[in-house]
Amino acid sequence: MGGKLFFILGFYLSVVSTVAAQTYFSLCSYLISFTFSLLSLGQLKVIDWKLLGTLMPIDVGLPRVLHSTLKHFSIRFFQEPLKVYSGK
């Protein structure tokens, strides 16, 4: 996968976990089918590109999203009806 990008970056994209997951779910077909109209692959090659030595987790903010969603639901479904029925 990604022969052009292998030539430019110097490593296979399957070692990058996010790209591997996108490939598994068939979401990154565009990586194979792109073209360069003004430059050749030799002009785009990166000589000293390096991957990280250790993998780091990607923070997607899931705890924050869950907290704000549950807070919104508690206000919407519990506090607002209580105010309506109690007359406050």
Per residue in 16-46, pLDDT tens? 777 778 778 887 766 666 777 787 777 878 8
Judge whether 47 lies within some domain.
Answer: no
pLDDT at 88: 60
Residues 1, 37, single domain; the answer is: yes
Q: How many domains does the chain have?
A: 2
pTM: 0.43
Report long-range pairs for 78-87 (Cβ below 8 Å, ≥24 apart). Answer: none
Range(s) of the domain holding residue 76 = 60-88
Judge whether 54 lies within some domain.
Answer: no
Query: How far is Cα 12 from Cα 5, in angstroms, rounded to an integer?
Result: 8
Q: What is the mean pLDDT of residues 54-70?
A: 78
Residues 2, 32, single domain; the answer is: yes
Q: What are the two backbone dihedrals, phi and then psi, of residue 77, each rounded to the nearest 5 degrees?
A: -100, -15
Judge whether 48 lies within some domain.
Answer: no
Residue 1, pLDDT > 60, answer no
For residue 18, give the 3-state DSSP assignment: helix
